[in-house]
Amino acid sequence: MQAAFRRPLSSTSAAAFRSIRAYRQATPIRVRFMTTTQYEFILTSRPADGVGLITLNRPKALNALSTPLFTELNAAVKEFDKDDSIRALVLTGSERAFAAGADIKEMKDKEFSEVFKGKFLESWSLLTTVGKPIIAAVSGYALGGGCELALMCDIILASPTAVFGQPEINIGVIPGGGGTQRLAHAIGKSRTMELTLTGRNFTAKEASDWGLVSRVVGEGEGEVVKEAVALASVIASKSAIAVQAGKEAVNAAYEHTLTEGLRYERRLFHSLFATKDQKEGMAAFAEKRKPTWNHS
């Protein structure tokens, strides 16, 4: 991580980073871009225990999000989501582009009735229905639909080369895959309004300063993917049922009033006392040993 991107860490954050660094030192991660299911526009792999990796693989088009690509992405996400051995996902693209946007050639001749009746872009939101955490590892361009795709993920890590933006205004439309809504939730109304109405791109440092990305990872080819896999490995080492509850609780903060959100959080907290992992986790803490999760 470059000095320009460093910010003071709380003791909790520092401990989390130490856990990730310790994992990377103890477990060298060799990210292999291989696929177990036959896909044309994506690659899937399992680079670490409990971690599924999906790589967008349409390099000539800078990973432009065509319907066939999104169909494959949704299929891969569903496959990993139903696999109990996978407890966290990483989504990435190439060094040049996470995803440079939607496939404009595919949509330029569409008419209103076609996009409205066909519920165009509705399938893009499948990622947000997945119970397992998804980490976006962003290098290069994440523009338009690419930025929206990253926003659908639970955590965003970015390389210093990452460039974000919602430039749809420049082609006579606005974001249609959640950009105006999710970006406003992440960085506020005023900045989102400026970016939406001007189409200006913004840097990884700006994204970090505004709180859009969790952090900017050091330079070097593949570093952001390695860091994302290491982070996913740490998450995958926790109780899967508690992780899912934590994800639901945080997401509820964006969908409920504070009072409703607090009530929902308490209900999730209470419900975890019906799980084996709550019993094991607290017993292990009291006995000063490492817990053995049952994930139930």
Q: Which domains does the chain have, with CATH numbers?
A: 3-236 (3.90.226.10), 240-286 (1.10.12.10)
- From the list 140, 144, 145, 165, the catalytic residue is 145
Least confident interval from 123-127, 156-160, 211-215, 235-239 = 123-127
Task: Say whether pLDDT at 18 is over 60.
Answer: no
- From the list 48, 99, 168, 178, the catalytic residue is 168
Instruction: Please confirm, yes or no, whether 102 is among the known catalytic residues.
Output: yes
Query: Under a CB-based contact definition with an 8 Å cutoff, are residues 156 and 138 in contact?
Result: yes
Instruction: Please confirm, yes or no, whether 95 is among the known catalytic residues.
Output: no
Q: What is the pLDDT of residue 21?
A: 57
What is the CA angle 133-135-140, rounded to 5? 160
Task: Say whether pLDDT at 78 is over 50.
Answer: yes
What is the CA angle 172-174-180, rounded to 5? 165
Tens of pLDDT, residue by residue over 168-210, are 999 999 999 999 999 999 999 999 999 999 999 999 999 999 9
Least confident interval from 93-97, 119-123, 167-171 = 119-123
Query: Under a CB-based contact definition with an 8 Å cutoff, are residues 148 and 178 in contact?
Result: yes
Q: What share of the chain is helix, strand, coil (3-state, %, to 5)?
A: 50, 15, 35
pLDDT, the chain, mean:
88
Q: What is the pLDDT of residue 5?
A: 35
Task: Say whether pLDDT at 57 is over 80.
Answer: yes
Confidence of residue 12 (pLDDT cuts 50, 70, 90): very low
- From the list 72, 148, 227, 265, the catalytic residue is 148
- From the list 48, 64, 99, 102, the catalytic residue is 102
Burial class (CB within 10 angstroms; exposed 0-12, middle 13-18, buried 19+) of 268: middle
Q: How far apart are CA 27 and CA 48, in angstroms?
A: 9
CB atoms within 10 A of CB 235: 22
Q: How far apart are CA 177 and CA 189, in angstroms?
A: 17
Q: What is the pLDDT of residue 75?
A: 95
Q: Going along the chain, which residue ranges are E strands?
A: 42-48, 51-56, 88-92, 97-99, 134-138, 141-143, 155-158, 163-165, 201-203, 215-216
Q: Are strands 155-158 and 134-138 parallel, antiparallel or unpaired?
A: parallel
Strand order through the sheet with 97-99: 97-99, 141-143, 163-165, 201-203
Mean pLDDT of 68-91: 96
